[in-house]
Structure 1
Amino acid sequence: MTDLAPERAADLAAVPLARAYLTGDADPVAVTEVLLERIADDDNAVFISTAAERALREARSAKARYDAGRPASSLDGVPVAWKDLFDMAGEVTTAGSNLLRNATPAEEDSPVVAFLASAGMVALGKTNLTEFAFSGLGLNPHYGTPANPHDKDTPRIPGGSSSGSAVAVASGLATTAIGSDTGGSVRIPAAVNGLVGYKSSEGRITKEKVVPLSVTLDTVGPIARTVEDCVHLDAALRGVAPTIRRGNVAGMRLIVCETLWLDDCEEVVTDAFEKAIKRLEQAGVTVETRNIPQVAEAARIGAEHGTITAAEAYAYHRESVEGADVEEMDGRVVSRILRGKTMTAQDLLANQTARVTLSRQLGQEMEDAFIVGPTVPHVAPEIAPLDADWEVFNRVNLKTLRNTMTGNFLNMPGVAMPMASTSSLPVSFLLNAKSNDDDRLLSAALAIEHIVRGE
């Protein structure tokens, strides 16, 4: 046995941390106390609220189970932070909005919060986000914007909308975090913070008692330090034991999406991606680069008809954006919601029909292959120019979302993972599978992660 100092144990990934608990090398209570102290000392607007009493109670219960030799799961005692869209008993769910700052606390946990509690995980509190989860950049004028921890000199975006969730893990305030992804809101923050983010297929993980942005496109997913952590979290979020095993690199087929995804990428991103592809080929992966017409058609539908997200966000928030409450909202979010107001029934039907048809076509063409590209075409942009100019904000936001939002429209599950790079700022590799092929996606991600990272 090698006892780990609590400060060191608190920096472990989730699965190794649980293993340290199992061997007696680490203590769930001591680790939780370290993280709660770090959160209390943090001044980066990462958490909207903390649940210290609950966290310590859950940590003590986890310790008792380990002492008795009966851990609740492979993640028992592991700390987790929740994006403030998820109901947690006794806590206000703000959705990052001033309008909900003083709302009535939730009476019970959302089902996914309850699932992780049943797995013995320790809920640290609720993390910051873009207001109502409607941006890929992560800026929030109400609760502050968590700065990306990878640049100590110049404030850069945390990615959105699950901004606080990613920064919590990247800053060592939480071991894992849970977010939602409607257009990239798990994968983008993971990407710009050097983490792994998993966007699940629609319906795989329940989103009951989660404040919606788009009831159609919203998905729930984890942000963590490794693919292995995401595999275990995916299972826990569904209330099952993890069964996914590492796949084989030899014989794996990848399709590099040449349509839109490689356009206008920063040189450091292109360089890292090309080198990752070469390493994968050297490891025995078959790689094909080609245009994917369904990606181009999805982009055309959105440009011509508007988006499902805008239509459903307007339907949900109509009273707020049409009434006096609008003065309390982030104008950039309001402007995006109001795009849904001008959409017609024909526009919405065009979106709905196209995504079913295109998803089916793409799945048939992919067969057993995965589609890959950079998660984000640039490193994390500086915050100041985005705050200063709405036009710049809108342009950068759309570009940031460009590659990931295809996955939501076509219901492709995806894993974003860090790529080896010469840049001091993280760059990310996006692995996508066809709709509902999540198990095989996660198996493949386990197999290629070390190659993509250059390890």
Structure 2
Amino acid sequence: MTEQKTLASLSVLVQSGKLDPVELAKETYAAIDAHGDYAIFVELTPERATRDAEAASKRLRAGRSLGLLDGLPVAWKDLFDTAGNVTTAGSAVLRTNAPATSDAPVVAAVSAAGMVSVGRTNLSEFAFSGLGLNPHYGTPRNPAATDVERIPGGSSSGSAVAVAAGLVPAAIGTDTGGSVRIPAAFTGIVGYKATRGRYAMKGIFPLAESLDSLGPLCHTVQDAVWVDAAMHGLTAPTVRRADLSSIALVIPETVVFDDAEPEVVEAFEDAIKRLEKAGVAVSRRAFPSFSAVFGLMARHGALVTAEAYALHRERLAGPEANAMDPRVVARTRLGEKISMPDYIALLDARDQLIHETVESLKPNELIAHPTLPHVAPPIAPLLEDDELFFKINGKTLRNTSIGNFLDFCGISIPCGLGAAEMPVGFQLAAPHHQDDRLLSVALSAEAIIRGEA
């Protein structure tokens, strides 16, 4: 399989009979082996892939295709239960757990569309970091870096790198504070974070259930639309391209540009100019709710930290804590200081901020801003300096975590290059349950955002 094959291009070959799913699966594993970065996958599943591919091949030869995705490879972040495999959540302490007895419902839905599951991808331990470093399974190398080894972004690090390196056309991740959009932006691919609850969450190891959401990482918005349909059980996508003349974007003047690298701002603004030239209405204004999110966290603590601590408190009190990433332990233990009144205050204030933000948007407006304020930094300094690690982790999560707190859906699309010729992401976001509108706009705007139209 050649690099950067999209689901759409592979589908044409498979559906026409020019490429057999069994051969495609073999090529996929050969590419993974040849790539040589063994930190991308926690586990490969060739027996399942062969079984899935053979079934797809038989269907296609008999003229009974399950649809556009039948016979195409997909990889799963190691938080999703897949039958017969241990869900480690990127942690050494879960390696000896019993294998899952069944697929998570969203895995089953994608399998029902005919996709071939080739393996389970690496992540930040327990999905609790935006940088993608993992001391247990290694840190996947960012394939966009040409100077030094740079972070892949997290927590869906392996999922992003598997796609960006051309090993699989799509991988599925989770996003609690940016964990799909961050690695997508850092590696130069598309990452779509759906509204929380758009897909079934059973059988997925959580981080913070009030924030956790899912989404695909792939090469194009069209591919994301196809996978989104499969993830919630549709036999074909229903999203159609929006009329560019009906699109209005609003750029926040609050928080998202603070301390942003000049090259990132330049790439984003160049994309905005292209969109305006194409007839997209663009305005700029303050969003007080954005700064209020961080004011709440300073006063009451972070929602994600409170819920992560509640999930892991027994583990942190026992010997397993010694086998965890010390940085994950330190960050999770901060949740012990968050009281129940603080937690309730966070939830109440969150509901109000969501309402205020949605009400501040006109019916045809979407929010647009740089996905991240910087390009992927080098790995080495972050490994050596805890203080730098936590500083960069906070900055990396800043822009994207706003959307999780406000329960928005969002998509990151590559819009150019920044420092060291590293990718820059352009985020479009919409209020919760406006995913179809978001994807419709993204379909129409993608080529312009990329500078290809």
TM-score range, shorter chain: over 0.9
User: TM-score, normalising length from structure 2?
Assistant: 0.97
CA offsets, 1:38-78, max 9 Å, x none? Answer: 22342341000000011011111111111122211221111
User: 1:451: which partner in 2?
Assistant: 448
Q: Which residue of 1 aligns with 2:306?
A: 311
**Aligned match of 1:407:** 403
Residues 260 and 374 in structure 2, CA contact (< 8 A), matched pair in contact too: yes
Aligned ranges 1:58-69 → 2 under 5 Å: 58-69=52-63
TM-score (norm 1): 0.97
Correspondent of 1:388 among 384, 388, 399:
384
Deviation, 1:433, is 0.3
Kindly state the Cα deviation for residue 376 of structure 1 after the two structures are TM-superposed: 0.7
What does residue range 211-360 of structure 1 map to in structure 2 within 5 Å?
211-240=205-234, 241-360=236-355
- 8 Å Cα contact 2:418/2:424 also seen in 1: no
**1:273-320 C-alpha deviation (Å, 9 max, x unpaired):** 111111111111111111101111111111221111111111111111
The partner residue of 1:113 within 101, 107, 110 is 107
CA distance in 2, matches of 1:71, 1:62: 8
Q: Equivalents in 2 of 1:153, 1:66: separation in Å?
A: 44
- Which of 94, 99, 113 is 1:100 aligned to? 94
Number of residue equivalences: 448
1:27 and 1:194 map into 2 onto residues whose CA distance is: 29
Structure 1 window deviating more from structure 2 (347-356 vs 138-147): it is 347-356
SS in 1 for 2:214: strand
User: Where does residue 3 of structure 1 map in the other structure?
Assistant: none
- In the TM superposition, residue 152 of structure 1 has moved relative to its aligned partner by 4.1
Contact 1:366–1:434 (CA<8 Å) still a contact in 2? Answer: no
Q: Does the alignment pair 1:437 with 2:434? A: yes
1:393 partner SS: helix
Give SS of 2:191's match: strand
What SS does the corresponding residue of 1:123 show, helix, strand or coil?
Answer: strand
Contact conserved, 1:190 with 1:223, CA < 8 A, in 2?
yes
Shift of residue 383, structure 1, vs aligned partner: 0.5
Q: Are residue 31 (structure 1) and residue 47 (structure 2) matched?
A: no
Please tell me whether the aligned partners of residues 44 and 145 of structure 1 are also in contact (alpha carbons under 8 angstroms): no
Q: Which amino acid aligns with 1:443?
A: S
Structure-1 separation of matches of 2:403 and 2:227: 20
Does residue 1:377 correspond to 2:373, yes or no? yes
Query: Which amino acid in structure 2 is aligned with residue 396 of structure 1?
Result: I
Q: Report the AA paired with residue 426 of structure 2.
A: F
Residue aligned with 2:134, SS:
coil
Q: Partners in 2 of 1:11 and 1:21 — Cα distance?
A: 16
Match of 2:7 among 14, 24, 34: 14
CA 1:38 to 1:321, structure 2 compared with 1: closer, same or farther past 3 Å? same
RMSD over aligned CA atoms reads 1.1
Q: CA deviation at 1:367?
A: 2.5
What is the rounded CA distance, in whole Å, between the counterparts of 2:103 and 2:207 in structure 1? 19
Gapped regions of structure 2 (runs ≥ 5): none
Secondary structure of the structure 2 residue equivalent to 1:432: strand
Return the offset for 1:336. Answer: 1.1
Q: Deviations over 1:141-180 (max 9, x none)?
A: 0000001011244110000000000000011111100000
Contact 1:194 1:418 (C-alpha < 8 Å) held by counterparts: yes
Q: In the aligned structure 2, how far is the partner of 1:15 from the partner of 1:303?
A: 45
Q: Cα offset for 1:402?
A: 0.6
Please point out which of 125, 135, 139 is paired with 1:141.
135
